[in-house]
Structure 1
Amino acid sequence: MTSLRLLVAESETAEERERRRASVGRSSGETYLDTLRAIVPGAECDLVRPAEEGARAPDRAALAGYDAVFLTGSPLHVYEDTPEVRRQLAFMRDVFASGTPSFGSCAGLQVATAAAGGTVRENRRGHEAAFARRITATAAGRDHPLLAGRPGAWDAPAVHTDEVERLPEDATLLAGNGVSAVQAAEIRHAGGIFWGVQYHPELPLDELAGALRRQAESLIEQELARDKAAVDDYAAQIEALHREPGRRDLAWRLGLDPQVTDPARRQTELRNFIEHLVRPTRQARGRA
């Protein structure tokens, strides 16, 4: 059997990409590649940046040659009419039309929502930073393969300021929490299927800590932290847990359980997407 062909679409600006690399050593797309290669050893993984001016994004025919497309998080706000956003939405519409299964984290869910006719807005309940707490499945979500293996309520790495306001017509709400009503969803549009989450199953905890440090001023403005020292202290605890995931004292202090501290459980939605949608679709298409 030939290896899976996976495409990661990164929508960070060049400036944000370099800030992230300076902070944690990788762009969002590069992190996704590392995570996917660990989950699917031997997969052929490519990276594109469709939001960038002059970037050569695959057309629909080329997209159909992939087994899955993954959309990363992004600092872009899809409700802003900018060239970058227009290019990103056009790419996502091509992904839907290609019929290739797609998955998105955080802004990836928002891009898919907007491309299929839904709406996104600034989060009315403020920023969700570090962890999305007490995510719970809807009735539809409890039986959906995207969330297979998740308990009745779970936490997940999350850093976002925007949220899905209204899902597209042919979409299914799968999970939510007290901060964002849409934490997981399935979207069917133009012959394609997208599974996505508002949180970050692809992120290792040290990169989550880096994201908090980069957004320290915003966290202080939101009154989530008193000062940068408080942000750094919290981030340092998360980094320490990354280095020693078995430290029960840190997990207790941060209020986390193995749904976050165990990498395989943290990546549940990515693994489910590959096993329950990508591989069956590949077989249905007759690819050996």
Structure 2
Amino acid sequence: MRKFLVAQSETPDEREARRARTGQSSGETYADTLRELDAAADIEICQPADADSPVFTPDELACFDAVFLTGSPLHVYDDSPEVRRQLAFMRAVFASGTPSFGSCAGLQVAVVAAGGSVRKMPARMEAGLSRRIVATSAGREHPLLAGRPTTWDAPAIHGDEVATLPDGATRLAGNDVTQVQAAEIRFDKGVFWGVQYHPELSLEEIAIALRRQAPDLVEAGLADDEREVEERADVMEALHHAPQRRSLRWRLGVDGELADQDGRRREIVNFLSALPTIDRRGAR
């Protein structure tokens, strides 16, 4: 039985707000996804950004088979106590040698913890879908992206992005909006695989996020008004309930890489499959 640690960086208020909208915090969503992929796994959830959260040592983290970092509203370039605690946690993960995986803000936390940088996206954002992601030459050979086609779309909603990768990192994929859509980071004794998009989320959760951020999407010029955002969210939610409906796929312009649950989760499945081959001294 494998033992996984899921680290969520939402504040307590943000966790409760997300539960009110979707029924779960980001960590609870991640844990449920992992249970569906590995029913026998022992999964623990922690809140490393919280002031009263226990501080894990590298030795304690080394007891886990893998650590997962969720997305969150956290901005890694803010010099706040929450961010500092989250970065300290990630550095401990790297020091432990425990393989780790992260989505969206999870990728950004790993980047900054290892010496890279994150910025607010200049005059743009990705919302709902990350379009036409393309693997780099290194990414085409990397097990994280095994099975991905030449280009693919993925669920995404973010206004921050990786500006510079740290030394010891490899860019695995990008698109015209964000140059780092997937990366591997080697730092201290650890290996991290991460993506800027959200393979752990259902299309229903993305639809809920779109509705919540409708004013921001209109301000960013992605929609003319909130009604347009609502219509887009409605189609995405309908596709969640009927992923094989060709008419819904056509309206969103997507294929099975996004509509099918197995397609969306490909990177997490690949990471779980590769765990036995990831050396805890930083070599694959």
With normalisation by structure 2, the TM-score equals: 0.97
The answer to whether the 8 Å contact 2:98/2:280 transfers is no
CA contact (8 A) 2:111 2:117 kept: yes
> How far is 1:223 from its partner?
1.3
Question: In 2, Cα distance between the equivalents of 1:135 and 1:281?
Answer: 25
Q: Contact (CA 8 Å) 1:49, 1:57: kept in 2 or not?
A: no
Equivalent residue of 1:196, what SS?
A: strand
Q: Distance in 1 between matches of 2:235 and 2:248?
A: 7
How far the C-alpha of 1:234 sits from its partner, in A, is: 0.9
Deviations 1:53-86 (A, max 9, x none): 1111322111000000000001111111000000
Query: Aligned partners of 1:199 and 1:89: how far apart in 2?
Result: 20
Match of 1:279 in 2: 276
4+ residue runs of structure 1 moved beyond 2 angstroms? 279-284
- Runs of 5+ unmatched residues, structure 1: none
CA distance in 2, matches of 1:195, 1:202: 14
2:99–2:280 CA contact under 8 A, matched in 1: no
Tell me by how many angstroms 1:217 deviates. 1.2
Query: Which residue of structure 2 lines up, in the alignment, with residue 49 of structure 1?
Result: 47
Decide which of 4, 10, 17 is 2:8's aligned counterpart. 10
Identity %: 59
SS in 1 for 2:72: coil
Distance 1:201 1:125 in 2: 25
- After superposition, give the CA deviation of every residue in 1:27-58 in whole Å (9 maximum; x if it has no partner): 11110001000011110000000001111132
Task: Say if 1:172 and 1:187, in contact at 8 Å, map to a contact too.
Answer: yes
In 2, Cα distance between equivalents of 1:21 and 1:251:
28
Unaligned 5+ segments in structure 2 are: none
- Point out the more displaced range, 64-73 or 227-236: 227-236
Q: Which residue of 2 aligns with 1:189?
A: 187
Amino acid at match of 1:86: R
| One-letter amino acid of the structure 2 residue matched with residue 189 of structure 1 | F
* Alpha-carbon offset, residue 195 of structure 1: 0.3
Deviates more, 1:217-226 or 1:61-70: 217-226
CA distance in 1 between partners of 2:213 and 2:11 (Å)? 16
* TM-score in terms of structure 1 length: 0.95
Q: CA deviation at 1:125?
A: 4.8
Q: 1:95 aligns with which of 82, 93, 96?
A: 93
RMSD: 1.3
Aligned to 1:40: 38
> In the TM superposition, what are the counterparts of 1:42-191 in structure 2 within 5 Å?
42-191=40-189
Q: State the shift of 1:15 in Å.
A: 1.8
> Could you tell which deviates more after superposition, 168-177 or 53-62?
53-62
CA contact (8 A) 2:144 2:271 kept: yes
Offset of residue 283 of structure 1: 11
